[in-house]
């Protein structure tokens, strides 16, 4: 049913209800007149009134049921009233008529609200339609929402504004050149001869849009990808590039090839120094790259990424360079470690690389340079033959020469061994080839375990770990015969049991033989009945240190090759000490006062103590022939009698044996 038909139907129903209501009101007026007539004594047709009242009451109930109920209640009250003049039927009929009128009024109000709602809805609909059409009218001269042309948003712009904006964008196009080492240049559209022609104009794009569809595109994209033709001027580009400062020849740096540099102590090997890429630009490649960038409307051109720079001929990964590096580093892992009494000295590639001779694809070791190293090592570390300060058990510090003791590198033997170790490319730990060794590595090479022989006291001490562990009396070389035992620092050459010491016309066996200075050594002397005292001065040995058999046995078990033996005398040290003490004990004379200033007094000279010099042992070699010296034996009881066996038996000399040293 149409809107107009619905409205007419409703109007017809309302008209009928109004007419019905008017007839009811007329009936109510007639009823009121009848009641009035009764009150005034007029005659009324009861039957007719009753019939009319019944019809009116029925109509009243249909329209106003609640009022009818109320009317019934009122009628009941009136029937109970003895003074009431109306019958119950008349009251009820009147009430029904009133309820019907109220119901009709409510119906009229509902009809009016519907009219308001319908009218409002119609107005709103007209407003929405009018607003949409108004916006559509706006978009007849403007680009629709979400209009994207080649990635640029032109929504809501007029054709003129959009065209102007695109033209300005094209005219302000720039190409930024990014070079090495932070260099940069910006090329403008004018300097490039830049121009753009599009496949569609802004007018043509706008003509394709339907303004009434603006609501759809408000929520959806409206993209346009246009074909465009970009033109440029190659000559102008070339001229522009030539004017760029970092592209001028004098400002470019040529590339440099990679190479193997000097030995790197930090890396412990030879390393490749990488190539220097430089900043030299190939202008032909650059021109072509710029033209391509302009054609693609690119805002930036990276010269390095575009391959515009000239390259070094030899790079770090060059096969020939890598092979050469492996040859140079052939001995990189070679290590020869010297074990120096628990201290270690490494001969590694830091040293070996200087000994290499590179020839083509091969590398060899220079033997002469190996020998130079060994000679230098010996010069810096040998202690053989050098004087050394030594502190005795009595606390005297003496500077003593070294005999056959100390570190002495066998240069020739060690050169050959070290050369062989390096050429093998192995890792080796060993002691260098020494011709003479010592107890402790370093300039102070005696250590804390050794034997002391004190010529002055005729004592032998065994020092172990810095403490005296054993001592005994001894008899050393005869001073009177010029055979004093040589003073110095020595090492045991070897040791032998049951040796036979031979001399001209004799052969004397000894149980324990421990030579330390050629034919001079420690040994037992069974032919002696006493040791110590002053025997050595007039009846001593030819230079050996004679000790009791049990003492010789003990020392024999302790010593080994190069075990230190220190021979010294403290006579001079004690004499100097006594002189110092005497000087301290002599009082210093006080000055004598005189009346005459010019008078002088002779200084008092303290008497000088005269001491008889004792012979000192300066002999460093045992005489080949016995030296016979007449000795007058004093008769004083303070001088011990010489042992008869000593004077009749010359000092034996050891049987010739191979001497490992000098």
Residue 532 falls within a domain, yes or no?
yes
For residue range 347-376, list pLDDT tens digits in order: 999 999 999 998 878 899 999 999 999 999
Q: CATH number for the domain including 627?
A: 2.40.440.10
Q: Are residues 101 and 27 in the same domain?
A: yes
Is the per-residue pLDDT at 54 higher than 50? no
For residue range 579-588, list pLDDT tens digits in order: 888 888 876 6
Residue 89 contacts residue 53 (beta carbons within 8 Å)? yes
Q: Are residues 497 and 631 in the same domain?
A: yes
Q: Which of 136, 167, 199 is the last residue of a domain?
A: 136
539 or 122, which is more confident: 539
Is the per-residue pLDDT at 172 higher than 50? yes
Q: Are residues 161 and 86 in the same domain?
A: no
Residue 371 falls within a domain, yes or no?
yes
Q: Are residues 161 and 54 in the same domain?
A: no
| Tokens representing residue 381 in the block | 């570390």
What does the pLDDT average to over 215-241? 89
Contacts 24+ apart (CB under 8 A), 38-43: 38/85, 39/85
Residue 260 falls within a domain, yes or no?
no
pLDDT of residue 399: 95
588 or 35, which is more confident: 588
Residue 145 contacts residue 222 (beta carbons within 8 Å)? yes
Q: At what angle do helices 3-39 and 88-138 cross, to 10 degrees?
A: 160
pLDDT of residue 92: 62
Query: Using CA atoms, how far apart are residues 351 and 377, in angstroms rounded to an integer?
Result: 12
Q: Are residues 480 and 621 in the same domain?
A: yes
Residue 471 contacts residue 461 (beta carbons within 8 Å)? yes
Place of tokens 């690119």: 298
How many structural domains is the chain composed of?
Answer: 4
Q: What's the first-to-final CA gap in the chain, in angstroms?
A: 144
Q: Are residues 479 and 623 in the same domain?
A: yes
If you write DSSP's letter for every residue of 554-575 in order, what string do you get? HHHHH--TT-EEEEE--HHHHH
| Tokens representing residue 380 in the block | 């810096």
Q: Which of 106, 136, 166 is the last residue of a domain?
A: 136
Residue 186 falls within a domain, yes or no?
yes
Q: Name the CA radius of gyration of the chain, rounded.
A: 69
pLDDT of residue 505: 67
Give the highest mean pLDDT range of 62-71, 288-297, 411-420, 652-661. Answer: 411-420
Q: Are residues 207 and 108 in the same domain?
A: no
Query: Using CA atoms, how far apart are residues 187 and 196, in angstroms rounded to an integer?
Result: 16
| Tokens representing residue 78 in the block | 């009136």
- Its pTM stands at 0.55
Q: Are residues 621 and 501 in the same domain?
A: yes
Q: CATH number for the domain including 416?
A: 3.10.20.800
Is the per-residue pLDDT at 485 higher than 50? yes
Residue 659 contacts residue 517 (beta carbons within 8 Å)? no
Q: Are residues 465 and 513 in the same domain?
A: yes
Q: Are residues 367 and 474 in the same domain?
A: no
pLDDT of residue 406: 93
Residue 314 falls within a domain, yes or no?
no
Q: Which of 113, 136, 159 is the last residue of a domain?
A: 136
pLDDT of residue 227: 83
Indicate the average pLDDT of the chain. 78
Give the highest mean pLDDT range of 31-35, 122-126, 562-566. Answer: 562-566
Q: Are residues 522 and 623 in the same domain?
A: yes
64 or 458, which is more confident: 458
Q: Given pLDDT bands bounded at 50, 70 and 90, which one contains residue 71?
A: very low
Instruction: Provide the percentage of residues in the chain whose pLDDT is more than 70.
Output: 73
What does the pLDDT average to over 428-446? 94
Residue 597 falls within a domain, yes or no?
no
Q: Are residues 81 and 153 in the same domain?
A: no
Closest CA to 87 of 46, 144, 122: 46
| Tokens representing residue 286 in the block | 């650059």
pLDDT of residue 404: 87
Q: Is 186 exposed, middle or buried, given 0-12, 13-18 or 19+ CB atoms closer than 10 A?
A: exposed
Question: What kind and span of H or E run contains 414?
Answer: helix 411-424
Closest CA to 661 of 543, 544, 542, 515: 515
According to DSSP, the residues that pair with 521 across neighbouring strands are: 515
What does the pLDDT average to over 83-91? 54
Residue 369 falls within a domain, yes or no?
yes
Q: What letter does residue 195 receive in the DSSP assignment? A: E
* 572-588 CB burial, b ≥16 within 10 A, e <16: ebeeeeeeeeeeeeeee
Residue 469 falls within a domain, yes or no?
yes
pLDDT of residue 110: 76
What does the pLDDT average to over 45-62? 44
Query: Using CA atoms, how far apart are residues 465 and 27, in angstroms rounded to an integer?
Result: 153
> Could you list the residue range(s) of the whole structural domain that residue 358 is in?
330-387+402-436
90 or 582, which is more confident: 582
């Amino acid at each position: 049913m149409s809107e107009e038909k619905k409205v007419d139907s409703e109007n017809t129903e309302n008209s009928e209800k109004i007419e019905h209501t008017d007839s009811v009101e007329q009936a109510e007026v007639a009823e009121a007149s009848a009641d009035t007539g009764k009150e005034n004594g007029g005659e009324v047709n009861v039957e007719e009134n009753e019939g009319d009242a019944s019809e009116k009451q029925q109509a009243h109930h249909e329209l106003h049921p609640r009022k009818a109920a109320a009317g019934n209640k009122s009628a009941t009250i009136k029937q109970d009233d003895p003074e009431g003049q109306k019958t119950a039927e008349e009251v009820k009929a009147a009430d029904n008529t009133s309820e019907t009128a109220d119901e009709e009024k409510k119906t009229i109000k509902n009809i009016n609200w519907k009219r308001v709602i319908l009218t409002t809805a119609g107005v709103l609909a007209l407003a929405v339609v009018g607003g949409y059409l108004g916006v559509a009218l706006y978009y007849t001269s403007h680009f629709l929402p979400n209009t994207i042309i080649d990635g640029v948003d032109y929504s809501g712009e007029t054709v003129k504004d959009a065209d102007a904006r695109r033209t300005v964008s094209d005219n302000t196009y720039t190409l930024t050149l990014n070079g090495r080492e932070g260099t940069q240049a910006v090329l403008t559209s004018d300097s490039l001869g830049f121009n753009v022609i599009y496949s569609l104009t802004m007018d043509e794009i706008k003509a394709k849009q339907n303004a009434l569809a603006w609501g759809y595109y408000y929520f959806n994209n409206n993209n346009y990808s246009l074909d465009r033709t970009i033109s440029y001027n190659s000559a102008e580009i070339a001229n522009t590039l030539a004017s760029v400062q970092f592209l001028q020849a004098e400002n470019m740096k040529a590339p440099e090839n990679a190479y193997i540099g000097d030995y790197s102590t930090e890396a412990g090997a030879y390393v490749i120094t990488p190539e220097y890429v430089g900043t030299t630009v190939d202008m032909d490649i650059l021109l072509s790259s710029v033209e391509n960038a302009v054609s693609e409307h690119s805002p930036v051109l990276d010269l390095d990424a575009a391959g515009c720079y000239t390259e070094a001929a030899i790079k770090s990964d060059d096969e020939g360079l890598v092979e050469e590096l492996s040859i140079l580093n052939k001995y990189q892992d070679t290590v020869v470690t010297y074990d120096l009494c628990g201290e270690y000295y490494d001969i590694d590639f830091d040293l070996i690389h200087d000994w290499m001779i590179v020839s083509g694809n091969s590398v060899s070791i220079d033997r002469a340079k190996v020998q130079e190293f060994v000679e230098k090592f010996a010069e810096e570390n040998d202690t053989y033959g050098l004087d050394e300060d030594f502190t005795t058990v009595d606390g005297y510090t003496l500077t003593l020469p070294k005999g056959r003791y100390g570190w002495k590198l066998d240069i020739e033997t060690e050169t050959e061994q070290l050369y062989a170790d390096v050429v093998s490319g192995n890792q080796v730990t060993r002691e260098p080839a020494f011709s003479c060794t010592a107890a402790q590595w370093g300039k102070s090479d005696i250590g804390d375990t050794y034997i002391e022989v004190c010529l002055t006291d005729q004592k032998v001490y065994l020092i172990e770990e810095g403490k005296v562990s054993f001592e005994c009396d001894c008899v050393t070389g005869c001073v009177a015969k010029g055979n004093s035992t040589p003073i110095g620092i020595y090492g045991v050459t070897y040791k032998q049991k049951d040796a036979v010491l031979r001399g001209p016309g004799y052969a004397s066996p000894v149980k324990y033989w421990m030579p330390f200075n050629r034919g001079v050594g420690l040994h037992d002397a069974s032919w002696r009945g006493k040791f110590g005292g002053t025997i050595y001065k007039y009846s001593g040995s030819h230079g050996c240190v004679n000790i009791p058999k049990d003492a010789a046995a003990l020392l024999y078990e302790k010593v080994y090759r190069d075990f230190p033996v220190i021979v010294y005398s403290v006579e001079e040290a004690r004499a100097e000490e006594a002189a110092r003490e005497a000087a301290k004990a002599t009082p210093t004379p006080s000055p004598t006062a005189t009346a005459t200033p010019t008078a002088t007094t002779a200084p008092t000279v303290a008497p000088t103590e005269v001491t008889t010099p004792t012979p000192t042992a300066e002999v460093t070699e045992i005489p080949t022939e016995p030296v016979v010296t007449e000795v007058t034996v004093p008769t004083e009881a303070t001088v011990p009698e010489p042992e008869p066996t000593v004077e009749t038996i010359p000092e034996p000399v050891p049987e010739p044996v191979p001497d490992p040293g000098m």
